Structure 1
Amino acid sequence: MSNDEPVSFGYRDVADDGGAARTWWDANAGEYLDEHREFLGDAGFRWGPEGLTEAEAGLLGETAGRDVLEVGAGAAHCSRWLASRGARVLATDYSAGMLAGAARLDAATGVVVPRIQADARALPFADATFDVVFTSFGALPFVPDAATVHREAARVLRPGGRWVFSVTHPLRWAFPDDPTRRGLTASRSYFDRRPYVETDAAGQVRYAEYHRTVGDHVRDVAAAGLRLIDLVEPEWPTWNDQVWGGWGPERGRYLPGTAVFVTESPR
């Protein structure tokens, strides 16, 4: 939710080219980063609210000494972690507000990550530039044309490179955004692909989030010429007692909240 409550919200088709997401994150980046700073860490790499880290999972493969691109990087927490471990990493995000947050973390950590403001659907890089491309809950949920993001990731990958992305687990779309047991009862169709939308008094879209089924994600990856090599569904760990939106330990014991797709470019 934004700083000002939306006038209306719900699931419906809208004309949005992804610009609503940039406006929303520009306005709310500071609040979001402050709220989740302890969990994210100043230079940590988590794949989702369950807390699974790249140090534990190793989904990107070897990154030290390799060229790595993070899209939808936010304040570049993940990139900062990789850079501190020897990766040649570059972070991109569509939101100037999030990139301003990254600048503040540079000062706090002393680890400076190169970054560029860019749309993940039109990356300003030559073909076959990176060994690894990834995003942790970035870009894909906020654009109506996710297939374009996958094509761009595939385009800038070198042969044998990995494109890894985490998103809200598609199954969650059928359930209320409630982290308690009340959120365990399905209330809408998993196959209803209408986005969640918030509008203002003038009817302007202020926020939009898009749903794809597991099959949609797999087909988009395949259409981009990539090979799916793993699908990780992190379980809720006993140490994590935080509640983050619709995520929390009570519901997390029963339903997956995050899906991480690991794909590879043909060699």
Structure 2
Amino acid sequence: MSTAPTPPGGPARPRPEPGPAPLDDPLADAGYRDVSDEDGGTAGRGWWDANAQEYLEEHGEFLGPADFCWCPEGLREADAHLLGDVTDASVLEIGAGAAQCSRWLAAQGVRVVATDISAGMLGAGRRYDAATATRTPLVLADARALPFADASFDVAFTAFGALPFVPDAERVHAEVARVLRPGGRWLFAVTHPVRWAFPDDPGEHGLTATRSYFDRRPYVETGRSGRVLYAEYHRTLGDHVGELVGAGFVLDRLVEPAWPEGHTRTWGGWGPVRGARLPGTAIFVTHRG
């Protein structure tokens, strides 16, 4: 849905396993290191385009073609109601992947628009539309430069989209603030920051911290050519709050979903062993001040 990486797919895009590299540029190196903002910030589009089909083949059944799942813990909006009342609201999804969350909202009669930077993921979204006989508004867009007028939406959200894959998340928050009406709500789910201190392992090995929580170097995959194929960025809880406040948002609630009893599915570093002891997801519920 996203701490060594996690691929996307609508709601849960928590660290992906290293994905297939382009045939003309095989994966040569993976680890935590500094890269230029330009190289790291532009890698996501190509990675998601190349891995969209495989990602959905692996996680599509859990996510569903038209369901709103916030995270690998399986928290559904139908149960959590984190967005609040959206009956007459205009809603924007950022980093929507194949737009499963937006498709679910549309089925509830909500006016919603889904955006993503990956044409591959939006193409999968169009196929989901055809399979479910629905029509979800899909827009190819960088979350740091949204193609919408000021004060166009009442609610914006993302479930593991956009924010982990850019070095300048403050630009995403600023754009969301711009397109939201005064008092508009902004919710986003990310890998819980504390998880970056632990190996991305769902078993016992993943319960021992091996890195500094304060090491903000991104996780990076590099091809033999030296090109950055994938980059995912770590922010502490304080970083997230600071970026939100800087963009004019008020933090209303921080949700840390517990691992549900009987939920045995493993997703990258998420699973019942770690989930019983460590938080895996943080969902920030905010509003524009």
Question: Which residue of 2 is the match for residue 229 of structure 1?
Answer: 252
Between the aligned partners of 1:104 and 1:135, the Cα distance in structure 2 is 21
Structure 1 unmatched ranges of 5 or more: none
* Residues 16 and 205 in structure 1, CA contact (< 8 A), matched pair in contact too: no
The Cα offsets for residues 8-58 of structure 1, whole Å up to 9 and x where unpaired, read as 011110014321011000000011011111110111111110000111111
Does 1:12 find its partner at 2:29? no
User: How far 1:239 moved relative to its partner?
Assistant: 2.9
* Residues 160 and 264 in structure 1, CA contact (< 8 A), matched pair in contact too: yes
Does 1:76 find its partner at 2:99? yes
DSSP-derived class of the 1:199 partner:
strand
Counterpart AA for 1:64: T
Counterpart AA for 2:235: R
User: How far 1:111 moved relative to its partner?
Assistant: 1.9
Between the aligned partners of 2:146 and 2:106, the Cα distance in structure 1 is 21
Between the aligned partners of 1:65 and 1:84, the Cα distance in structure 2 is 14
The Cα offsets for residues 151-194 of structure 1, whole Å up to 9 and x where unpaired, read as 11111111111000000000000000000011000000000000
The Cα offsets for residues 66-94 of structure 1, whole Å up to 9 and x where unpaired, read as 10000000000000011111110000000
DSSP-derived class of the 1:47 partner:
coil
Between the aligned partners of 1:240 and 1:69, the Cα distance in structure 2 is 30
Structure-to-structure mapping, 1:1-267, within 5 angstroms: 1-4=18-21, 6-17=27-38, 18-266=41-289
DSSP-derived class of the 1:36 partner:
helix
My pick for the range that moved more, 227-236 or 6-15, is 6-15
* Residues 228 and 264 in structure 1, CA contact (< 8 A), matched pair in contact too: yes
Count of residues in Structure 1 that have an aligned counterpart in Structure 2: 266
Question: How much is the aligned-residue C-alpha RMSD, in angstroms?
Answer: 0.9
Between the aligned partners of 2:215 and 2:28, the Cα distance in structure 1 is 23
* Residues 75 and 99 in structure 1, CA contact (< 8 A), matched pair in contact too: yes
User: How far 1:65 moved relative to its partner?
Assistant: 2.6
Between the aligned partners of 1:221 and 1:133, the Cα distance in structure 2 is 14
Identity of aligned residues (%): 65
Structure 2 unmatched ranges of 5 or more: 1-17
Counterpart AA for 1:252: G
List 4+ stretches of structure 1 deviating above 3 A. none
Counterpart AA for 1:25: W
Between the aligned partners of 1:42 and 1:72, the Cα distance in structure 2 is 16
* Residues 120 and 139 in structure 1, CA contact (< 8 A), matched pair in contact too: yes
* Residues 157 and 265 in structure 1, CA contact (< 8 A), matched pair in contact too: yes
Counterpart AA for 2:228: V
Between the aligned partners of 1:16 and 1:74, the Cα distance in structure 2 is 22
Under a length normalisation based on structure 2, what TM-score does the superposition of the two structures give? 0.91
Between the aligned partners of 2:100 and 2:37, the Cα distance in structure 1 is 28
